[in-house]
Amino acid sequence: MGSGLVRVRAAVFDVYRTVLEVGPPPADAPTRWRWLWESTFGGRPRLDLETFLAGCEAVVRRDHGMARARGIAYPEVYWPGVIADVLPELKGLSERSRQAFEVALARLQHTTGLMPGAAPVLRLLLNSGVVLGIASNAQPYTLHELNDALTAVGLGANVFQGDLTFWSFQHGFSKPDPHVFQVLNARLRARGIEMAETMMVGDRMDNDIVPSRQCGWATFLLDPTAGVGSEGAGDWQRMAHWLDGRLGA
């Protein structure tokens, strides 16, 4: 490379507000909730959307409290289980129908799309032989949102390597727990990739940047408001410039 910079061989990404931008719920979410209920269960909803979500929040608080009592500092819930506690009706549906309900419900809670500038940088990394991974506090519906956004630009969620993917809902704990990065470090070493050859890209200092730096990873803070002179921070376009000299043999 000739630049003195350590080559990046693996790039691990946060998802929300990093690969995916997140917007507010649709204005007609309560109406869509009624349609979703009627199409799934038939009849009028026995809970309005606000009451349903409040019930889910109570279940999350309960489950988080139980996990913390067992010594899990940063617990994660399994969202399908949470909503099934509030809506026992879901247990009578097929798995496919339950998944469709969960994805539709997520669309009532927020809107998502690919972050501007993400696609060309992901392609740059792939074309440079960098393996891509994920470390995300997420739920099963996140996989659908990510795949939809990437497929729309000719990519797909399969650009991220399965063994380098950490979804918090699959493990019961979440970032910034150092075990998240310890798990990924072990998998990277199995591929012959060192910590210094790995970069973390995320939008939060506390969840993404600080714990990955503590592992010896390079980092890039996705912060479109970062000043021009900020090193290792900025939008996706600035990340492409930051990568100059860090890719290739």
Query: Is the separation of the CB atoms in 24 and 115 below 8 Å?
Result: no
Query: What is the rounded average pLDDT of the residues 198-206?
Result: 98
What is the structure's pLDDT at 1?
44
Task: For residue 183, report the phi and psi dihedrals to the nearest 5 degrees.
Answer: -60, -50
Residue 196 has pLDDT above 50, yes or no: yes
What is the structure's pLDDT at 117?
97
pLDDT in tens, 177-195: 999 999 999 999 999 999 9
Strands 111-114 and 20-23: antiparallel
pLDDT band at 231 (very low <50, low <70, confident <90, very high): confident
The pTM is what?
0.94
What is the structure's pLDDT at 230?
75
Rounded Cα distance, 146 and 31, in Å: 25
Query: What is the rounded average pLDDT of the residues 220-228?
Result: 88
CA distances from 197 to 175, 202, 220 (A): 21, 17, 13
Query: Is the separation of the CB atoms in 114 and 20 below 8 Å?
Result: yes
At 101, which helix (H) or strand (E)?
Answer: helix 95-109
What is the structure's pLDDT at 23?
97
The tokens for 7 are 């080559």
pLDDT in tens, 74-92: 999 999 999 999 999 999 9
pLDDT band at 5 (very low <50, low <70, confident <90, very high): confident
CA distances from 213 to 13, 38, 125 (A): 14, 48, 20
What is the structure's pLDDT at 3?
57
- The more confidently predicted of residues 157 and 87 is 87
Strands 131-136 and 111-114: unpaired
Work out the percent of the chain whose per-residue pLDDT is above 90: 93
CA distances from 87 to 43, 55, 141 (A): 15, 9, 17
pLDDT in tens, 106-116: 999 999 999 99
What is the structure's pLDDT at 2?
47
Those residues with Cβ within 8 angstroms of residue 77's Cβ, 6 or more apart along the chain or in another chain: 59, 60, 63, 64, 169
What is the structure's pLDDT at 229?
66
Residue 228 has pLDDT above 90, yes or no: no
